[in-house]
Each structure stands twice: as C-alpha cells, then as structure tokens.
Chains A and B, each alone.
Chain A
Amino acid sequence: MAYPTTQADLQFARNAQQSLVEYLQAGPLKDDTLAIAGVGDLEVRIAAAEALLAWAERSPAAIIEAHLAAAEAAQRASELHVELSGRSLSRPVVEGQALPLAHLRRRLGDHYLNGALLD
C-alpha cells in the first residue's frame, strides 16, 4: 500500500498546478513560452507520479518509486508556483510520514544493487 504522503504530495502537486494555471490564465503569462514550458514540466512530473502510483501495488519497491515521484512532483509544483506567481503554497503535514527521501532512495538503491529486501 502506498505511503499516506504519496497521495498527499500528489494531491498537493495537482492543486498547486491548478492554482498556477488559473493565475496564469488571468494574465499575460498565459502566452509566455517559458511559463507554458514550465507548466508542461510540472505536468510531466505529475503524470509520472500518477503512473507510478498506479503500479504501487506491484511490489515494495514500486511503493517507494511512487513516493519518490510524488515528492518530486510536489517539490516542482511548489517551486514553479513561487517562480511564476511569486506566492508560496504550504505543503500539508501528513500523519505517518515516511522516511526522509534520501533514505528511501538509498533503500531502493540497496534493493537493486544488493538485493536487499524491502518491507
């Protein structure tokens, strides 16, 4: 089962993207090449997280992979929102926080490199 934070991060990214899109659509940046590309970049991160979340039931590794993708989507959404709108959004605190991302990456790497079991 996916970490609670995975869904929360993904939802945050979606919400931030929607907020950003509404902000951009109301102003001159909606036709700005760089802003458009930025929205596209975020769309890719969200799509990646959604696709990996759909695979999360496959294995313990897949759960971590989905979590890392969702975290990246949330982080990118937060940064892009500040960059294009000048306003920051606060990410919600979720009960049952998983390990720090760096530790999850290490555990995943240990799994692929050394066959370490993931629970």
Chain B
Amino acid sequence: MSAISQSRLPEQATSAPRRPAHIIGSDAEAIEVAQRLAEDFAREAVERDSERRLPWAELERFSDSGLWAITVPKSHGGAGVSYTTLTEVVAIISAADSSLGQLPQNHFGVLNNLILTGSEEQKHEYLAKVLAGYRFGNAFSEAKSKTVTAFETRIRFDGDSAVIDGEKAYCTGALFAHIVPVAGVDELNRPFVAFVPRDTAGLRVIDNWDGFGQRITASGKVLLDAVRVPGSAVIPAWKAYDQPTADGPVSQIIQAAVDTGIARGAFAQALRVARLARPWADSGLDQGWQDPLSQAAIGDLAWRLRAAEAILQRSAQAVDQALAKPSEDSVAQASVLVAQAKVLSTEIALLASTRLLELGGTRSVSASQGLDRFWRNARTHTLHDPVRWKFHLIGNQRLNGVKPPRHSWN
C-alpha cells in the first residue's frame, strides 16, 4: 500500500498501451487464451497475494492478450462474444487469481454502458482504444454518499468541456488503467461517466486499499479536483437506466463469475489437500482419501459448485437475450437470474474456501501454502453488495410480481 499522487505517476502507469493488443476473433479463442493465461497467473498467485505485489506485469499480459476487448461488437471489429463466454473467461482467470479476475470487472461494465449510451463517434473512438489494448479502471463508488447508488461527485458542463470534482472509493483497476471512467451527477442529479486519461491534471489515484482479500486489486481512492475533459469524453450513463437495458445485470454477472472462479479454485485445492490428508485416528482407514466423511463433504461441494455454474450459464443466456431484445420483461428476467447466480456463487465460494481448510487439516493453514487466500478473497469480493437483498429481489418478483429496481447493483 502506498499513497501515490498523480503528480508522480508510478513508473508502470501510462495513459496508452505500450504495444497494440492481440485481437481475439471468436468465443473459442477467448476461452483458449483465458486457459493459457490462467496457467501463467496461477504460478505466482500465492506470492503476489502474500507480498501484496501489484500485478503490473500480469495485467500487461492480460490486456495484451486481447481478452479485455472480447465484448467489443463485431460491427466495431471485435469478437462480440456472448456473456456465456465472458463469464467463463472471468471464472477461468479468477480460479487462478481472483484479483486478476476482478480487475477487468468494471472495464467490461463501462464498456457495455458505452455501447448502450455513447454516441456513434464515442463508440468509434473508445471501442477502437479498447481493441488497441486500453484498460479502463473505475471511479464509480463513493464511501460517503447515503447509499451505493447515490453520488456526490459533480460533473459540470462548461462549453465544450466538462469539469469533475469529487472523491471516489473502491476504485478497482484505476491504478492500472490507461483511462479512468469517472461517474458524476449533473445539476439534475443524472449520472454521467467521463473517460479521464490516467495522466489528466487533477486526477489522483491513491492506493490505500488494505483489504484482507483481493489484496492486489489496489481498490483504493480516486480524488478529482477540477478535472477537465472534453465534452466528447462524457457519456450519459443514466440513459442505461432511464429505460430497460441489461446494464445492471451485465455489471452484476461479472461479480458472480469472479466468485464462481474462486469456488472452482478452492474446490480444486480441496481435492488436492484431501488426497494428501492423513486418516483420522479413529477411522480405521489407511489413507485420508478413503474417509467417507471427507468424501461426503467433497460431494456436497461438487453439486453446489455445479449448480452455481449451471445458473451462471443460464443467467448469461438471459443477459444475452436482454441485450439483444431489451424490454421490461427481458431485463427483469436477466436481473432475477443473475441474482440467483450471485446467491449460489457467493454461497459456494465461501463454503468451498472454508471446507478446503477443514479437509486439509492443520497442515493446510501453513502460511507458505497461502490456502487462506481463497476464503479471504471470497469473503471480500462477495461483500460488493449484500446477497441477502438478492433473496428479496428474487422473492419479490415471485411473490408480488415486482420487477427488480434498475441500477447497476441489480
């Protein structure tokens, strides 16, 4: 953790990619690239977590691979992959290192908002940048507003430009971004998003994130002091919620994909440690892997993980349908199914990461193994928004026919 003033950018930070990114051409290629990168990212995941080593080099490889551009529509030169593919990509990376899986979360979210609310000129400009390897961070959430959907950051239009003032929190990706999208409200309290280049005067990214999980996401603060950008760099994000669009479900489903990935990673480690565990003294068994109680615990994890994966896939299909044909009904359906995915992925991520340690026994808590990272990461990331209100969202639709409120947390 360090306080980094924008007047002195970290040497790795740039406002443009160092080289053009590879352009991925298909869903299948996206999955193949993700699997290859996940093997790479898994190698030093424990060290990065324990040393809180920021993943500058890994992110370069990640965005160079073209994976950060896979949702750019085919009409703009991208692969336009389905959300089934995107969520699988995020889950694959998150199983290896969930901080790396989380880092493009808001990038994909704002990319979708750009597609939904940007002008053709804005889409042309920024989608081309994403294809070239630009990484968007985020400066959306605020810690001091009344609720997560309220913003105190102001955006004031001044001739051909816009001026932004405010303070943001939990800004995952901002430190590593080439462009920091910033949410602020105008005098009518309508949220806009401004694309602020990383080296803009008045933009300060402060890496004060000290969460015990998702340690290397650098999800710290962003301060905006009279930040000025051209009006052409501002999109009317509020329009994505003024009418039914899948912007909220898109934002949420990526969260569920990260948590599903954590669960997969924890389950794989649970199998590994259970195979190595000693038999319990009273069991009469020769090997720990023969233990019927351990086997039953693993079977319980297995079906719950599979259920989370199945619902994640169904919800991704619903998101694709809502994007293709947005309506009150299709967006509500996507929101409800994504909420189901959020519930199940939260539950299995926490359960698998706890049982992993139980099945491995005391030897599994050796800090050198870093197996606690799965629980720390699951606990931290699943706090993004309270899953208890997902039950309410789902139940209110079923019981009272009330469609979910439209915002980026639903």
Contact surface of A with B, Cβ cutoff 8 Å: 17, 21, 24-25, 30-31, 33, 35-41, 43-44, 47-49, 51-52, 54-55, 61-62, 64-65, 68-69, 102, 104-114
Contacts and interface: CB of A to CB of B under 8 A. Distances in A.
Interface in B358-410: 388-396, 398-400
B295 A106 contact: yes
B295 A109 contact: yes
Between B292, B310, B337, B340, the greatest number of chain A beta carbons within 10 A of the residue's beta carbon is seen for: B310
8 contacts: A35-B395, A38-B391, A40-B391, A44-B343, A107-B295, A109-B300, A112-B302, A113-B298
A111 B303 CA distance: 12
A52 B388 contact: no
Interface string B81-110: 000000000000000000000000000000
Given A52-B303, A105-B299, A114 B289 contact: yes
A114 B34 CA distance: 28
Contacts of B303: 52, 64-65, 68-69, 105, 108
B344 interface: yes
Given A44-B344, A52-B303, A52-B306, A38 B295 contact: no
Contacts of A49: 307
Interface string B279-322: 00000000001001011111111110011001101100000000
A11 to B, nearest CB: 17
B271 A44 contact: no
Which of A21, A38, A105 has the most C-beta atoms of chain B within 10 angstroms of its own C-beta?
A: A105
Interface of B: 271, 274-275, 289, 292, 294-303, 306-307, 310-311, 313-314, 337, 340, 343-344, 388-396, 398-400
B292 A106 contact: yes
A33 B394 CA distance: 12
B271 A113 contact: yes
Contact of B311 (A25, A33, A51, A108): A51
Most A CB contacts (10 A, CB to CB) among B292, B294, B295, B388 go to B295
A54 B294 contact: no
Q: Which 4 A-B pairs have the closest CB atoms?
A: A40-B395, A109-B299, A108-B299, A109-B298
A25 B289 CA distance: 50
A69 B340 CA distance: 14
Contact of A109 (B297, B307, B314, B392): B297
